Amino acid sequence: MRNQKLVLFDFDGVIVDGMNEYWNSSLLACEKFLNSNDISIERNLYEEVSDTFKEIRPWVKYGWEMVIIVYEIIKKTNPLNQKNKNDFLFNYHQNCQSILLKNSWVAEDLQKFLNNSRKYQINKDFEKWVQLHKPFYEVLNLIKNAKNKQIKTAIITTKGKIFATRILEKLNIIPELIFGYESGTKVEIASQLSKEHEIIGFLEDRKDTLLEIKKSKITNKIPCFLADWGYLKDTDRINLPNDITLLKLKNIDNLLAI
Q: Which residues bind Mg ion (CB under 5 A)?
A: 10, 12-13, 205
**What minimum distance in Å lies between the beta carbon of 10 and Mg ion?**
4
CB of 94 to Mg ion, least distance (A): 22
- Angle between helix 19-33 and 107-130 (nearest 10): 120
Query: Cβ of residue 13: shortest distance to Mg ion, in angstroms?
Result: 4
- Residue (10 or 21) nearer to Mg ion, CB: 10
Question: What is the C-alpha separation between 41 and 88, in angstroms, rounded?
Answer: 22
Residue among 24, 4, 20, 3 at smallest CA distance from 12: 20
Q: Evaluate whether 175 touches 155 at the Cβ level (below 8 Å).
A: yes
CA atoms within 13 A on the CB side of 104: 2
Residue nearest to Mg ion (CB): 13
**Interatomic CA distance for residues 143 and 125, integer angstroms:** 28
Please, which residue, 53 or 105, has the CB nearer to Mg ion? 53
Instruction: Pick the closer one to Mg ion by CB: 13 or 175.
Output: 13
**Strands, E, within 105-180: which ranges?**
134-135, 152-156, 177-179
* Nearest CA among 125, 112, 204 for reference residue 166: 125
Minimum CB distance to Mg ion, residue 115 (Å): 18
The angle subtended at Cα 73 by Cα 15 and Cα 110, nearest 5°, is 65
Output 34 or 219, the one with its CB closest to Mg ion. Answer: 219
Q: Which is nearer to Mg ion, 13 or 71 (CB)?
A: 13
Nearer to Mg ion, 26 or 39 (CB): 26
Distance of closest approach, residue 158 Cβ to Mg ion, in angstroms: 8
Phi-psi region of 6 (alpha: psi -120 to 50; beta: other; left: phi over 0): beta
* Least distance to Mg ion, CB of residue 15, Å: 9
Which of 162, 161, 219 lies closest to 188, judged by CA? 219
